[in-house]
Amino acid sequence: MNTTSRYILLILGILFSLHWILSLTHEEYSRVTSIDSIASHFRGGTAAEKHPVPEEYLELNSGTLSYNRKANATFVVLARNSDLENTVRSIRRMEDRFNRVHRYPYVILNEVPFTDEFKKRVSNVITSSVEFGLIPKEHWFQPDWIDEEKATAGRKKLEEEGVIYGGSVSYRNMCRFNSGFFFRHPLMLKYRWYWRIEPDIHYHCDVNFDPFLFLEDHNKIYGFTISMYEFEKTIPTLWGHVRDFMKLHPEYIAEDNAMGFMSENNGETYNLCHFWSNFEIADMDFWRGPAYTAFFEYLDKQGGFYYERWGDAPVHSIAAAIFAKKDQIHFFDEIGYEHNPYTHCPKKEESWERGRCGCDRGRSFDYDGYSCLSKWDRLMEG
Ligand SMILES: Nc1nc2c(ncn2[C@@H]2O[C@H](COP(=O)(O)OP(=O)(O)O)[C@@H](O)[C@H]2O)c(=O)[nH]1
Ligand SMILES: [Mg+2]
C-alpha cells in the first residue's frame, strides 16, 4: 500500500471513529445522522407527497365536497385569564386563515371562571359562536389518593434535573386534564370532532379545505402537523405500564397499527416519538371509546401524571398508535403551524403557494434532528 492510500485510510478511520463516538455520546447528533433522517432528504415518497388532502376537498375547486357540509365539530381552547392577549391572537389567526369561511364554534375552558374582560375580548374576534366553560374540580385537581410525599419528591427531582415544568403541579393538572377529561366536559359532549388551539400559536397558511370532513370521510381519527421526541425524564415508567396494559387487553390492539412509529423492536422499548398535541384535530369518539377509556383509567391509577410528569402528547399518541390503524392517523402537510419554538411549513411547493403561506419552507421542523417525521414516512412507506 502506498503512502497516499495509507493516509486516506487513516483519515477515513478517524472520521468513522469520531462519528461513532459522537453517535454514542450525543443523542441529537445520532438522530440527525441516522439512516432514517438522512434517507428522508432523498425520499420522494414522504407522507406529505404520498398522502395529500385530495383535490376535491380544496375550496379553490368548484366541485369541492365541503360546500354545504359541516362536521359535528368545535375548536377547544384551554386557557387562564392571564392568557388573554395570546388567546385573542391565536383565535384571530384561526379566524383569518380558516374559520371566517367555515364558522365552527369554540369551547373555551378554565378551572376558574373567565373574567368579563376575557369573555368580551375573545368573543369580539370570533365570527361564529363561543361558549366559556368551568372545569369540574374532580377533572382538574390532584386526586386525594395520590401519595403527596411521593409526588413532592418526584417534582423536586425533576426540578433539580432542570426539566421544564418539573416542579409545577398546575402543569401536571393540565396534562392529566388534556389526557383524560376535556372530551368529557359537559360543553364538549355534543361534539364529535375537535381542533385544539393554544394561546400564542400561529397559522401560516390559508386552510382552504375542511380537515374535519376530510378525516371523517376517510375514517381517520387523528391529525397532526408536528411530531418529536419526548423528554425521557418525564416518563421513565410510562412504557412499562403501556406494555402491561397491552398484555392485559390484547383485544384493544389494532391490526396494522402505528407501533412502528414509536418502537424499533415491535413494542419492546419506546423510542420517545409522539405527535405534538398542542395541535390536534381528532375524533372524541375515539377518546370516549372502550379502549382509550380503559387505557386512561389504567394509566391514571399508576399515578404517573403526578409522580412523574406524563404529558398528554405521549399519552394520546401512544393510544392512537396502538388502538387505531396507522391509516387512521393523518399528517397534514398543508397546514402551516407554529408553536414556539417549532414550525411546520408545507413541504409541497404547490400547497405553500395555494395556502398563501408566510412561513419559510427551508426552516420547517419536519426533518430537524429532533423531529420524528422521518419515522412516520418510513412507517407509511411500508
Ligand atoms: N386554565 C388553565 N390552563 C392552563 C394551565 N396551565 C396551562 N394551561 C393551558 O394549557 C395549554 C398548555 O400550556 P402551555 O403553558 O402552553 O404548555 P406548553 O405548550 O407545554 O409549554 C395552554 O392552552 C395553556 O393555556 C392552568 O393552570 N390553567
Ligand atoms: Mg403551549
Q: Which three cell numbers stand for residue 302?
A: 399508576
Task: Choose the residue to mutate in 80, 140, 315, 340 for probing ligand 1, maximizing ligand atoms within 8 Å of C-beta.
Answer: 80
Q: Note the pLDDT tens digit of each residue in 341-363.
A: 999 999 999 999 999 999 999 99
Query: Does 58 map to a domain?
Result: yes
Number of domains forming the structure of the chain:
1
14 C-alpha vs ligand 2 centroid, how far in Å?
43
Q: Is the CB of 198 under 6 A from ligand 1?
A: yes
Note the pLDDT of residue 10: 78
The C-alpha atoms of residue 333 and residue 46 are separated, in whole angstroms, by 10
Return d(Cα 367, Cα 360) in angstroms, integer. Answer: 14
Whether ligand 1 lies within 6 angstroms of the CB of 170 is answered as: yes
Give the position of cell 391509577: 301
Would the CB of 110 count as within 6 Å of ligand 1? yes
Atom index in ligand 1 nearest the CA of residue 198 equals: 23
Any alpha helices (H) in the chain, and if so which ranges?
3-25, 27-32, 35-42, 47-50, 84-94, 100-102, 116-124, 137-140, 148-160, 169-180, 211-217, 238-248, 259-262, 284-288, 290-302, 304-307, 312-323, 349-354, 373-381
Its pTM stands at: 0.90
pLDDT digits (tens, 9 = 90+) for 208-243: 999 999 999 999 999 999 999 999 999 999 999 999
Q: Is 200 in the pocket of ligand 1 (CB under 6 A)?
A: no
Per-residue pLDDT of the chain (382 residues; tens, 9 = 90+): 677 777 877 777 777 777 666 655 555 555 656 656 566 556 667 888 888 999 888 876 544 555 678 999 999 999 999 999 999 999 999 999 999 999 999 999 999 999 999 999 999 999 999 999 999 999 999 999 999 999 999 999 999 999 999 999 999 999 999 999 999 999 999 999 999 999 999 999 999 999 999 999 999 999 999 999 999 999 999 999 999 999 999 999 999 999 999 999 999 999 999 999 999 999 999 999 999 999 999 999 999 999 999 999 999 999 999 999 999 999 999 999 999 999 999 999 999 999 999 999 999 999 999 999 999 999 998 7
Tell me the CATH number at 266. 3.90.550.10
CA–CA distance, 199 with 77 (Å, rounded to integer):
8
343 CA → ligand 2 middle, Å: 13
d(C-alpha 110, C-alpha 135), whole Å: 6
Q: Is 6 within a domain?
A: no
Q: Which of 310, 297, 329, 301 is nearest to 181 (CA)?
A: 297
Report the candidate in 371, 376, 378 with the shortest Cα–Cα distance to residue 31.
Answer: 371
Q: What is the pLDDT of residue 7?
A: 80
Which residues neighbour 17 within 8 Å (Cβ) at sequence distance 6 or greater?
A: none
In a domain, 16, yes or no: no
SS3 state of residue 280:
strand
Ligand 1 atom 18, closest CA = 278
Alpha-carbon gap, residue 339 to 275, rounded angstroms: 13
Supply the range of the domain harboring residue 118. 47-381
Catalytic positions are 280
Nearest partner of 345 among 337, 373, 200, judged by Cα = 337
Domain membership flag for residue 30: no
Tell whether ligand 1 has an atom less than 6 A from the beta carbon of residue 36: no
**Does residue 14 lie within any of the structural domains?**
no
Is residue 35, in this structure, part of any structural domain at all?
Answer: no
Centroid of ligand 2 to alpha carbon of 277 (angstroms): 9
C-alpha cell belonging to residue 297: 383509567
- Tell me the ligand closest to 196's alpha carbon: 1
Cα separations in angstroms, 363 against 31, 87, 90, 347, 359: 18, 25, 21, 10, 8
Q: Is 277 in the pocket of ligand 1 (CB under 6 A)?
A: no
Q: Is 312 in the pocket of ligand 1 (CB under 6 A)?
A: no
Residues with CB under 5 A from ligand 2 (ion): 198, 278
The order of strands in the sheet holding 106-110 is 130-134, 106-110, 73-78, 193-197, 280-283, 222-224, 329-331
| Residue 299 within a domain | yes
Q: Which atom of ligand 1 is nearest to the CA of 200?
A: 16
Integer CA distances (angstroms), 19 to 12, 13, 22, 26, 245, in order: 10, 10, 5, 10, 38
Give me the helices (H) in 181-256, please: 211-217, 238-248
pLDDT for 295 equals 99
The contacts of residue 42 (CB under 8 Å, 6+ apart) are none
Cα–Cα distances in angstroms (integers) from residue 292 to residues 223, 265, 284, in the given order = 17, 23, 10
> What is the pairing mode between strands 193-197 and 201-203?
unpaired
Does residue 329 lie in a domain region?
A: yes
